[in-house]
């Protein structure tokens, strides 16, 4: 798998690792992926320690988001690792497929309920995304209209 050069230059590793070619890319991706895994492990520990009602992955995601927004973590420090994890995301669903095969009896008994939940959940996500996109589009149009109106008023003055 080859990564674009802008991803390589955006890493937090020294230039020596960048100039070492494929090995440098491997080290960069491995370190960044390990960093992301460390955030998840820490968040999972916090969830278990405080008996929080949310998964550790959600807390880890929110923690990483907060660190990215406040500047505690620069996006370039996690970009290559995150890109690699996202590009190979399908591999992470293999255990779920194996588990589905192991619980065939559950699907035979309650399969229609599970299918209903999956379909309803998917539809709800689609509706929520459509609503959010529509609202963002309206906001963009209003902001653009204000910008144009302000520019016209400034040109008249």
**By C-alpha distance, which of 68, 41, 78 is closest to 57?**
41
pLDDT at 96: 67
Give mean pLDDT, residues 77-95: 82
Is the pLDDT higher at 27 or at 104? 27
Instruction: Give me 14's structure tokens.
Output: 């020294």
pLDDT at 114: 82
Give mean pLDDT, residues 23-48: 93
pLDDT at 4: 44
Interval 44-65: pLDDT, tens: 999 999 999 988 888 999 999 9
Is the pLDDT higher at 129 or at 10? 129
């Amino acid at each position: 798998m080859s990564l674009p050069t802008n991803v390589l230059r955006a890493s937090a590793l020294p230039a020596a690792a960048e100039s070492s070619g494929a090995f440098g890319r491997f080290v960069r991706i491995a370190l960044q992926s390990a960093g992301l895994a460390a955030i998840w492990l820490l968040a999972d520990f916090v969830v278990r320690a405080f008996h929080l009602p949310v998964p550790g992955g959600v807390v880890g995601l929110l923690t990483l988001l907060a660190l990215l927004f406040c500047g505690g973590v620069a996006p370039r420090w996690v970009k290559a690792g995150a890109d690699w994890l996202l590009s190979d995301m399908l591999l992470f669903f293999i255990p779920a497929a194996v588990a589905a095969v192991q619980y065939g009896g559950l699907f035979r008994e309650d399969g229609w309920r599970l299918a209903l939940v999956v379909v309803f959940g998917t539809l709800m996500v689609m509706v929520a995304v459509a609503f959010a996109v529509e609202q963002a589009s309206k906001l963009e149009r209003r902001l653009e209209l204000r910008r144009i109106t302000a520019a016209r008023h400034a040109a008249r003055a």
